[in-house]
Chains A and B, each alone.
Chain A
Amino acid sequence: MSALTFTLKQRTDQRVDMSPLICQKLAGMEPTEVAAIELQNGKRKVRVDELFKISGLDCQNIQIKNSFGKLDFIGKDLSEGSIHVDGDVGAYLGMGMTSGSIEVFGNTDIYAACEMKGGLLTIDGNAGDFLGGAMIGNKQGMKGGAVLVKGNTGDRAGDNMRRGVMLIEGDAGDYCGSRMVAGTIAVLGKTGRFPGHMMGRGTLLLWSQPQLSASFNDCGAHTLAFLPILLKSFKKFNSKFAEVEIFNRVQRFGGDMAEKGLGEILVKIYK
């Protein structure tokens, strides 16, 4: 059975709420029922078949083609199956997803992986601001699962992150890991200004020396036994992280001392 494929016919002027098109909601639906689903498009509602050419039947394997940056809420609350997107996507990609996988071959707008709880979200391009963040007014962002970004991220990646792992192959913007509650963010590239701003707990693992705020204190060079286990766990990803050299020596910076001060920024020590 071939993948259930939605090919965008024409770009819309208004944003589209794609949240109805997830595996568990489409399970058991006839093609005509799928075509008749209404999506919010700006102020009006439009049928799926008005926006997309639909083919294939396997709703556990959804493909979205010709995607562009106004398709919001793709994979919202996904709990099973996989979604594959060709092109850029809008905001709130994979918001609240609990399981399954989403892979985007393009860039994402703000709030990808917002309050994500489980599963794997892969972004082949760049991610916008507030990757893995919390909805405005909420106190906890990403609570589980893994986010893999092969490009760069915007500002405040991992804002309010509570649990899970965020892997950034490229560079991270300013305030990476801001207000982190817990969890792990690893960045192979560079980080912008003031990573870990106001983080309470959690770990930022960096391969490049960061520009730290004055409220992070140097705790010295250390050999940490958990690092090889963590790094080995990255081997399962189709990523540069799967190929990184296993190491256990890092410079540890504790902070943010303006908050709880129980977070850490670990910077790889090169021999």
Chain B
Amino acid sequence: MIINGVSIDNTFAEAFPMKATRVIITAHTAQWAFNSAKSMSGFATSVIGCGCEADIERTLEPSETPDGRPGVAVMLFTMSGKGLRKQVETRAGQCVLTSPTSALFSGIDGGTRIPLGKNLRYFGDGFQISKVINDKRYWRIPVMDGEFLAEETTGQVEAIGGGNLLVLAKSEIDALSACEKAVEAMRKIPNVILPFPGGVVRSGSKVGSKYKALGASTNDAFCPTLKGVTKSELSQEIESVMEIVIDGLTEEDIKKAMRVGIETFCSIGAYNGIKRISAGNYGGKLGPYHFHLQEIMA
């Protein structure tokens, strides 16, 4: 399949099941909600080393938030429910409770309920106040700037992590510029996050390593500097490869994001340095979800 001179590989992105939740952070201003959300979703690019994958899903207008203040939706993904509980509580406690004027709410009504403010309340040292409003329990925790309000629980749902796209470009600048545009378009899709810095990964990995201690190592087949010395997937004209990783609540959400990403790359076209679109495919070793690029674009 070739669109606007860009070749779409007959391959698939391989993804795996995860647990996820969404939380809503509000604050006196959008900037302070963002500050808190940025902190909460920091150091959360990959479950390999961060414990979870998290990112800002989108900003919210005051009319969209429970307390009528500006807000930000953050999504967190982990490999297990236990891991999600730990990450949500730790990050809420260190990054949201601490952030001036913030309040924290569940962004998912259904699902398995996991603690959000349930245990953070003990920070109130007995001065915390519970309020049940419309069958939801909130905790009011006295803090130095006033009061921190947190919903007791948030919803944990089944999700998918590791959807991905590889863009193969004529130069590093071409790849980076195309990825910036694709990320901007993909971030408009609801229910997905792109957890890596700026949404882009330059160090895609393969499963396994020559070193026994490592479970993953550099994806040498897509490293342009190794074209002549390894079993490379790259033709001579490819000088740079970048990846966009997508975590989403459902297969449909990830497909939509991938389609928007591929469309953006193709709209830039081969003339502007975008030569091929491929995906991380690890021969079925990684996960049960297979996102076939050509089917998505059909």
Contacts and interface: CB of A to CB of B under 8 A. Distances in A.
B131 A184 contact: yes
Nearest to B133: A233
Interface stretch (A71-79, A81-89, A121-129, A217-225): A217-225
Interface of A: 163, 182, 184, 201, 203, 222-226, 228-230, 232-233, 246, 262, 264
Contacts of A229: 66-67, 133, 138
Contacts of B132: 163
13 contacts: A223-B146, A224-B140, A225-B67, A226-B131, A226-B133, A226-B140, A226-B147, A229-B66, A229-B67, A233-B134, A246-B68, A262-B127, A264-B129
B130 A182 contact: yes
Given A225-B67, A229-B138, A233-B134, A203 B129 contact: yes
Contacts of B146: 222-224
A184 B131 CA distance: 8
A212 B138 CA distance: 27
Interface in B112-143: 126-127, 129-134, 138, 140
Nearest to B104: A225
Interface size class of B (residues with CB under 8 A): 10 to 19
A232 B132 CA distance: 13
Contacts of B147: 222, 224-226
Contacts of B67: 225-226, 228-229
Contact of B103 (A184, A201, A225, A233): A225
Contacts of B149: 224-226
B276 interface: no
B89 to A, nearest CB: 20
Contacts of A201: 129
Contacts of A228: 67-68
Nearest to B68: A228
A226 B146 CA distance: 12
B69 interface: yes
Contacts of B134: 233
A255 B149 CA distance: 21
B216 to A, nearest CB: 43
B103 to A, nearest CB: 5
A266 to B, nearest CB: 11
B33 to A, nearest CB: 12
Contacts of A246: 68
Contacts of A182: 130
Given A223-B146, A225-B103, A230 B133 contact: yes
A225 B133 contact: no
Nearest to B138: A226
A120 to B, nearest CB: 13
